[in-house]
A = this chain, B = another copy of it.
Amino acid sequence: MKPEAFKVACSNCNLRELCMPVGMDRDEMIKLDTLVAGRRRLAKGDVLFGLGAPFQSLFAIRTGTFKTTVSTENGHEQVTGFQMAGEIMGLDGIVGDHHTCNAVALEDAEVCIMPFEHIEALSMEVPALQRHVHKVLSREIVREHGVMLLLGSMRAEERLAAFMLNLTQRLHARGFSSTEVILRMTREEIGSYLGLKLETVSRTFSKFVEDGLIEVKHRHVRIVDAERLGQLATPQHCR
């Protein structure tokens, strides 16, 4: 729970290009190193922030994977996204001073804590940071457009194919294999994100295996035919 004491510096961080603006001069870089107030380690299952919690900071993921979920009054919960290293969480809290979703670690993880008041103050001095904050927010809006398209118009196979490709692409951008994935989430969490039941996710995985698109051993998935998977993910049918 307690943020670590030792000094953290974005300028030395190998994830800098993922969370921070690029093309800044040395002077601005030094200012930016004050953005991160501390870090926090989480164990698998720990809640980074929950619905209704007061909003104070944005969080940049250093290591680990998270899920964000929203919930209805009756207790039903839905996954709205899976986040990995370099991605920013907590944007939902800006509008109303408290969080409107939950962020839960799917494996042991570490995040950088960036007090939002500090971000706003520094944005007034560093145009590149202001621009960056705007882009991070806009990117999340565009990402969610994609999810809406997926949920609103794709069938089960298309959804899962799109999901797997999105996952591998993001992992690849972080230096991991683009064909081998270890899923950090359950079938139920995948299903919740894709608007499907866990049984449907399982069955669809099995169908992909039958068709020679992927190999599945529980959480370990290997992409065998990325091209055909890609064709599935961009549906040709005219529903």
Q: CB within 8 Å of B: which residues of A?
A: 70, 72-74, 76, 78, 80, 91-96, 100-101, 120, 123-124, 127, 130-131, 133-135, 137-142, 144-149, 151-153, 192-195, 234-236, 238-239
Contact = CB atoms under 8 A, between A and B. Distances in A.
A88 to B, nearest CB: 11
- What number of copies of this chain does the assembly contain? 2
Contacts of A91: 137-138, 141
Nearest to A133: B134
Contacts of A140: 141
12 contacts: A76-B238, A76-B239, A80-B145, A93-B138, A94-B135, A100-B145, A120-B130, A123-B130, A124-B124, A144-B147, A152-B194, A153-B195
Contact of A144 (B95, B148, B236, B238): B148
B134 A235 contact: no
Nearest to A238: B76
A128 to B, nearest CB: 11
